[in-house]
Amino acid sequence: MKTTALLIVPLLLLPFTTQAQELRLSGGYNGSNVREVGDAGWTGRGGYQLGADLLLGGQLFLRTGAHLVVRDLNYSYYPAGENGLPSETPSDFRYTDRSLRVPAQVGLYLLDPDEDPGLNVYAVGGPSLLYVLNTELSNDALDVETRDAQLYLGAGLGVTLGFVFLEGGYDFALNEQLSTEPTDARVNLYYLQAGVRLQLAR
């Protein structure tokens, strides 16, 4: 219910926007900031993303799209030795997941884009869903359970220059996503992406 409500709220603003349309194609870097409940073990690594977004509106706009997100994390722990004490050598595992990220966000330009400013600045915010497509683990000795659908709430800042743009943002995880014994983890995401803007209609 909470997931549905967060995704519907931005769509309710659609009647209050104009119907200008813009398609954005982008790619970039992402990182993971892990928040855990239990013994520490997860650490984030760099990943990447590729995707497309559709913007509807003018100075106030709605944004949705689809992005392939590849995340990499490490998990380390010190197994018990024969004497029952933790080993001095950690066991390390590398975890990778590939997901489809679908945002439903509201944005606002600093300047009215209908006036064709050469340089503009904007802010975006709202929920997004991450649907896990597949996962990989470097060693089957670790049992990891991954939540199939993961809900985020985030914000970003961007700049446009002609037909190109640059944007960075941070997404907060609203539910636990990775589970190992005895650790449950939420994985916040941050990203930096660049791409091209294609005007479809005004």
CATH code, domain carrying 167 = 2.40.160.20
Residue 167 clears pLDDT 80, i.e. is over it? yes
pLDDT digits (tens, 9 = 90+) for 100-156: 999 999 999 999 988 888 899 999 999 999 999 998 887 776 677 778 899 999 999
What domain range includes position 77? 2-201
Residue 161 in tokens: 């220059």
Q: Structure tokens of 165? A: 């743009």
Query: How many structural domains comprise the chain?
Result: 1
Condensed to tens digits (0 to 9), the pLDDT of residues 60-84 reads 999 999 999 999 888 776 555 556 5
Mean pLDDT of 38-57: 85
User: Taking a C-beta distance cutoff of 8 angstroms, is the pair 187, 32 a contact?
Assistant: yes
**How many angstroms separate the most distant Cα atoms in the chain?**
73
Task: Name which residue leads in pLDDT, 131 or 176.
Answer: 131
Q: What is the Cα–Cα distance from 129 to 113, expressed in whole angstroms?
A: 28
Looking at per-residue pLDDT, the higher value among 39 and 176 belongs to: 176
Whether pTM > 0.75 for this model: the answer is yes
CA atoms of 99 and 26, how far apart (whole Å): 16
Span 187-198, mean pLDDT? 95
